[in-house]
Amino acid sequence: MSGTPGNPRGAQLWGGRFEGGLDPFFETFNRSLPFDRRMVDDDLVGSIAWAQALGAAGVLRQPEVDKLVKGLQKLRAACAHDPELPARAADEDVHSFVERELGELVGPLARKLHTGRSRNDQVATDLKLWLRRTAAGLDDALTELMRALVELADRTAALPIPGYTHLQRAQPITAGHHALAYVEMLARDRSRLADALRRADTCPLGSGALAGTAFGVDRAALARALEFRGGPTRNSLDTVGDRDHVAEVLFCCSMVMLHLSRLAEDWIFLGSHEARLVRFADAVATGSSLMPQKKNPDALELIRGKTGRVLGHLHALQVTLKALPLAYDKDLQEDKEGLFDALDQTVACAKVMTTVVDTIEYDEERCRTAASGGFLNATDLADLLVRAGVSFRDAHERVGVAVRRALAHGCELEELPRPILQELMPEVADSLARELRLDRVLGRRNAVGGTAPQRVRTEVRAWRRRLAR
């Protein structure tokens, strides 16, 4: 299909150089409208600003600007009313779609809009505008998930559960402390996202194909019109080939998914029949088509599985970018599908995890029992000896011997026969049973960052204030 003066449906914006038509299969292979149509509103917003910039530069007369802007606004309203309008078109890309549809509204004047502009700086602008408004949805989803975790932490601030290192029981912690660990991770994720968006907050429009525009467009005013707080980009060659912001947002999505996957793995394990410390609501679990007794944590498993998908999009883009020469190359058309899908999946996973958090139930009796046994208070016993004047290294050695004796007797440390306690740790033998109670073990971890119920409640209050802001 070759370009024609009327730019009919499906015609390209570059046809004058060509006589023959595209191979039909390659034409389909080459089209990006099936996915870049998601940026149609951004393309229209950028086009409105560009028309006004051309008017301010004296390239277009004011009546022409007014007619173009009115047509673009009418098309914008039509696309908002019928989001599938671009999907039914046969155009090569979203830019071709906008120009052709605009031509049907304002006639040949539409052909002046592209003056001084390239699809290279146009798509770079569209993508940044799309990213700015879409990433806000991810931030909102993360904020809601953080709120849900904070409320879970409040409900479970004093509930003991086993803490693990190397997937071996280590020390007792509170379920609230566990929930707040993920709040901290998600806060870093939000900070990373905000930082990436701040760096991306510069306006590519007016960079042309690679060498800048030849018309006297005020790029600073254009950046203000499009609400880019960082002003115009400073090098046209870099601008049209820059996809750092896409890679950074993909990295942000990857980190979010890594954190969601870790939480999913924690709870899948704690919800297994071997642990049975948490129960999943019917709303986020499914059954087996063969085994009637099964209740599977499918929501968490899907989140864990989709993590690989999102990480793959980041790696795919990095491989695409790694050897691209300046300035623009068609390889960069591959930046969008992965980005769109990564953001979609990350937002969806955050929302599903919020439902899991809202509905998860801890088996309090089993949690207390699990946190009370298995020598999880051994470190506290060593600390008690240190407070009594024993060096930590000697205390560590004595408690290790005490654990061996307890294993031989089939009892916990505080249940060792008194003669053994007097032999190994006479300094604390009289107070050991009281000081190794679970509530006292947890209560002593009250320093900033600790697991003590009082500390968890303090952190809950602090997070509520932060999230309210």
Residue 410: exposure state from Cβ atoms within 10 A (0-12, 13-18, ≥19): exposed
Architecture of domain 21-115: Orthogonal Bundle (1.10)
pLDDT attached to residue 3:
35
pLDDT attached to residue 11:
58
pLDDT attached to residue 8:
40
pLDDT attached to residue 6:
37
Q: For residue 385, which amino acid is it?
A: L
Dihedral pair phi/psi, residue 358, rounded to 5°: -65, -25
191 catalytically annotated: no
pLDDT attached to residue 132:
95
Class of domain 370-468: mainly alpha
Radius of gyration of the chain (CA): 31
166 catalytically annotated: yes
Residue 286: exposure state from Cβ atoms within 10 A (0-12, 13-18, ≥19): middle
* Residues 138, 141, 145: CA angle, nearest 5 degrees: 140
Nearest to 359 by CA among 146, 141, 140, 152: 152
Q: Which of 191, 272, 288, 391 is catalytic?
A: 288
Q: Which of 81, 166, 273, 289 is catalytic?
A: 166
Q: Where in the chain is the domain with CATH 1.20.200.10?
A: 120-157+176-215+234-359
pLDDT attached to residue 246:
98
Q: How far is CA 394 from CA 362, 386, 410, 427, in A?
A: 38, 9, 24, 13
Q: For residue 319, which amino acid is it?
A: V
The pTM is what?
0.92
Q: Where in the chain is the domain with CATH 1.10.275.10?
A: 21-115
On whether the CB atoms of residues 13 and 96 are closer than 8 A, the answer is yes
Nearest to 403 by CA among 430, 385, 418, 382: 382
* Residues 432, 437, 442: CA angle, nearest 5 degrees: 120
Nearest to 451 by CA among 154, 152, 170, 178: 178
Nearest to 191 by CA among 133, 143, 243: 143
Q: Taking the chain (469 residues) in consecutive chunks of 10 residues, what is each chunk's mean pLDDT?
A: 37 63 84 95 98 98 98 98 96 96 97 96 97 96 98 98 95 98 98 97 97 96 98 97 97 98 98 95 89 90 97 97 93 95 98 98 97 94 95 95 95 94 92 94 96 98 96
Fold of 120-157+176-215+234-359: Fumarase C; Chain A, domain 2 (1.20.200)
On whether the CB atoms of residues 125 and 204 are closer than 8 A, the answer is yes
